[in-house]
Chain A
Amino acid sequence: DTAVSQTPKYLVTQMGNDKSIKCEQNLGHDTMYWYKQDSKKFLKIMFSYNNKELIINETVPNRFSPKSPDKAHLNLHINSLELGDSAVYFCASSQDLGLAGEQYFGPGTRLTVT
Chain B
Amino acid sequence: SQKIEQNSEALNIQEGKTATLTCNYTNYSPAYLQWYRQDPGRGPVFLLLIRENEKEKRKERLKVTFDTTLKQSLFHITASQPAVSATYLCALPDTGGFKTIFGAGTRLFVKA
Q: Which residues of A contact B (CB under 8 A)?
A: 4, 40-45, 48, 55-56, 58, 90, 92, 97-98, 100, 102-108
Contact = CB atoms under 8 A, between A and B. Distances in A.
Contacts of B61: none
Contact of B102 (A43, A56, A108): A43
Nearest to B41: A108
A100 B98 contact: no
Contacts of A105: 43-45
A102 to B, nearest CB: 4
Contacts of A42: 102, 104
Contacts, number: 48
B98 A56 contact: yes
Interface residues of B, number: 22
Contacts of A40: 104
9 contacts: A42-B104, A43-B89, A43-B102, A58-B99, A100-B93, A102-B46, A105-B43, A105-B44, A108-B41
Interface of B: 31-32, 34, 41-46, 49, 51, 87, 89, 93, 96-100, 102, 104-105
Nearest to A35: B102
B32 A100 contact: yes
A98 B100 CA distance: 9
Contact of B98 (A4, A55, A90): A55
A92 B100 CA distance: 12
A48 B94 CA distance: 14
Given A43-B89, A45-B100, 16 more contacts: A4-B43, A41-B105, A43-B102, A48-B98, A56-B98, A98-B96, A98-B97, A100-B31, A100-B51, A102-B34, A102-B49, A103-B44, A104-B46, A105-B43, A105-B45, A106-B43
